[in-house]
Amino acid sequence: MSEQRSVLGENPGHAARQMALVFALGTVLAAVGLLTAPDDQHVPLIAVTVLAAGVAAAAWWTPWSRLDPQAPLVLCVPVLVLLSYCTWALTGGSIGTAPFLTMLFVWVGMHFSIAAVLALGPVAALAYVTPLVIDERGPVVIGGAALLIPAVMGVGALIAQQVGYQRRDRDTIRRMERWRAALTATLAHDVRSPLTSVQFALETLDDGDLPPEQRHEIISMALRQSSRIRRLAANLLDAERVDSQGLQLDLRQVRLSTAVDEAVGYLTAPVSVAVDPGLTVLADPQRLEQILVNLAANAVRHGSPPIVISAGREESGMVAVHIRDHGPGVPEEKRDQLFSRFSNADTNPDSVGLGLWITRELARAHGGDTRYTPADPGACFTVVLPDGGPVPE
C-alpha cells in the first residue's frame, strides 16, 4: 500500500482512513444483518449500509492533508448520527452500537487531545441515550447506556494521555537528532576556512625564499588555525551532550573584549574592536567563540570594510554584541530566511546555509538571541547574551 493511502500513522489522512475502515466494518455488518433480520428491520439496515458505505468512501478519499489537522474530527458527526439511528431503529440497537461507540472514543484518543475526548462525551451521551428515552426502553437499559459514556470517555482520555506522552518523547528524540546533525554539519562547514588558511601557509612556506620574520608570522597563523580545527573537531562530541532541554553548556563569566580579540585573530581581514574591557557575559567560552567567529566571518565574507565589533548593556540587563559592516546589506526579500536552517539567503555555492542558524541556536541556548538590523550603509548582526556581572578585581 502506498504512503498516500496507508492506514498506519499519525497524520490527519491516517486518522481519517482508520475511521473509514470502521465505517466499512459497519457496512459489512449491516449487510450481513440483512440476511437474518426480520422484515421490519430491512429498511433501517439498508439505510445504515448505504450511509456507512458512503461515509467510508468519503473518509478514505478526502484529501485531508490540505485541511486543518483537526478536520477528521468532523467524522464523529456521521458516526454519532448512525449510532443514534441504529439505537432507535434496530432491535437490540443499544447493544450492537456500544462497541462502535467505544471504538469512536478510542480513535479520538489515539489521534487527538484529551480536550477533544472530553468535548465529545456530552455529545455522545445525548446521541446515545436520547433514542433510548424516546423509545421508552426502560430505566435499566437507559441507566446502563448512561454509565457506558463515562467509561468510554475514560478509555479515550487514558489513550490520549499515553499517546501524548509517547509523542512528546519522540519529539524530544527528533530534536536531539536534529541537534546532532546540525552540529556535525556546522562544524564540518566551519573547518573549511581554517583548513584553507593552513593549506595556504604550507604552500607559501614551500617557496623557501621568505625572510625569517615572515616565516614566523605564517607559522604562527597556521598554528592558530590548526588549534581552531582541533577545537572544532573536538566539538563533534557535543552531539552526545544534547538533552531534551537543548545543548548543555559550560557557563562561565567571560571577559567579552578578550573573547572578541581571540575570535578576530582567526580572520584574515582587519576588524575593528570597540568593546569595553569591563563587560562580561555568562557563556560557554567555546560556544561564544563559535558565535563570534561565525558572525565576524559572515561580515568579512559578505560585507565591506570597515567592519566593527562593539558591545553594550541593554535595558533588559543583557549584553548586546554588534557586528557591523559597510557593505550592501541583506536584501529585504532575503531577511526572513537569514536564520533558518539550510537557508538560501547566502548565494555562495560553497555555503550550506547553517552558519547563521546555528549561531542563533547557540545564542538561544545561552538564554539570548541573534537578530539582524539594516545599517546605513551595510548590515548589523547583534547577538544578545546574559550579563556576566562585574569583572573580579
| CA 128 – CA 307 distance, rounded (Å) | 73
Spacing of C-alpha 167 from chain mean position: 12
The grid coordinates of residue 218 equal 605564517
Residues 233 and 253 in one domain: no
Under DSSP, the state recorded for 335 is: G
Tell me whether residue 283 is in a domain.
Answer: yes
The grid coordinates of residue 25 equal 466494518
Tell me whether residue 181 is in a domain.
Answer: no
Residues 79 and 225 in one domain: no
| CA 225 – CA 195 distance, rounded (Å) | 7
Of 206, 223, 243, the last residue of a domain is 243
End-to-end CA distance of the chain: 71
From first to last of its 393 residues, the chain has per-residue pLDDT tens of 444 567 777 788 888 898 899 889 888 888 888 887 777 788 888 888 899 899 889 989 988 888 888 899 999 998 888 888 887 777 655 566 778 888 888 989 888 888 999 998 888 888 877 777 776 665 755 666 667 778 888 888 898 888 888 877 777 677 667 666 666 666 666 677 777 778 888 878 776 677 888 888 888 878 877 876 766 665 555 444 444 445 678 899 999 999 999 999 888 788 999 999 999 999 999 889 989 988 998 898 888 899 999 999 998 889 999 999 999 888 888 887 777 764 445 544 334 345 687 788 889 889 999 999 988 889 999 999 999 888 766
Helical ranges in the chain per DSSP H: 12-36, 42-61, 76-89, 93-111, 114-134, 139-205, 212-234, 256-264, 285-302, 355-365
| CA 176 – CA 183 distance, rounded (Å) | 11
| CA 346 – CA 351 distance, rounded (Å) | 7
| Confidence at residue 3, expressed as pLDDT on a 0 to 100 scale | 43
Q: What domain range includes position 63? A: 3-173
Residues 195 and 336 in one domain: no
328, 343 in Cβ contact below 8 A?
no
Residues 291 and 214 in one domain: no
| Confidence at residue 271, expressed as pLDDT on a 0 to 100 scale | 92
User: Would you list the DSSP string of 28-67?
Assistant: HHHHHHHHHS-GGGHHHHHHHHHHHHHHHHHHHHS-GGGS
| Confidence at residue 93, expressed as pLDDT on a 0 to 100 scale | 55
- Alpha-carbon Rg for the chain, nearest whole angstrom, is 33
Residues 239 and 277 in one domain: no
Residues 219 and 90 in one domain: no
pTM over 0.85: no
Of 112, 147, 173, the last residue of a domain is 173
| Confidence at residue 243, expressed as pLDDT on a 0 to 100 scale | 43
Tell me whether residue 179 is in a domain.
Answer: no
Tell me whether residue 63 is in a domain.
Answer: yes
| CA 284 – CA 362 distance, rounded (Å) | 10
Residues 100 and 14 in one domain: yes
| Confidence at residue 186, expressed as pLDDT on a 0 to 100 scale | 61
- Burial (CB < 10 A; 0-12, 13-18, 19+), residue 270, is exposed
Residues 55 and 162 in one domain: yes
| CA 336 – CA 190 distance, rounded (Å) | 23
| CA 378 – CA 2 distance, rounded (Å) | 51
Residues 151 and 263 in one domain: no
Under DSSP, the state recorded for 377 is: S
Q: What is the dihedral of CA 163, 169, 173, 178, to 10 degrees?
A: 80
Tell me whether residue 209 is in a domain.
Answer: yes
Report the number of distinct structural domains present in the chain.
3
| Confidence at residue 246, expressed as pLDDT on a 0 to 100 scale | 56
Angle at 250 between CA 247 and CA 251, to 5 degrees: 105
Under DSSP, the state recorded for 391 is: P
Tell me whether residue 392 is in a domain.
Answer: no
Q: Bridge partners of 238?
A: none
Q: What is the dihedral of CA 242, 246, 250, 255, to 10 degrees?
A: 140
- Put residue 246 in one of left, alpha, beta given phi > 0 → left and psi -120 to 50 → alpha: left
| CA 63 – CA 366 distance, rounded (Å) | 43
Residues 162 and 83 in one domain: yes
Tell me whether residue 182 is in a domain.
Answer: no
Residues 295 and 333 in one domain: yes
296, 267 in Cβ contact below 8 A?
yes
Of 243, 261, 281, the last residue of a domain is 243
| Confidence at residue 182, expressed as pLDDT on a 0 to 100 scale | 64
CATH code of 315's domain: 3.30.565.10
249, 227 in Cβ contact below 8 A?
no
Residues 204 and 302 in one domain: no
53, 27 in Cβ contact below 8 A?
yes
Tell me whether residue 204 is in a domain.
Answer: yes
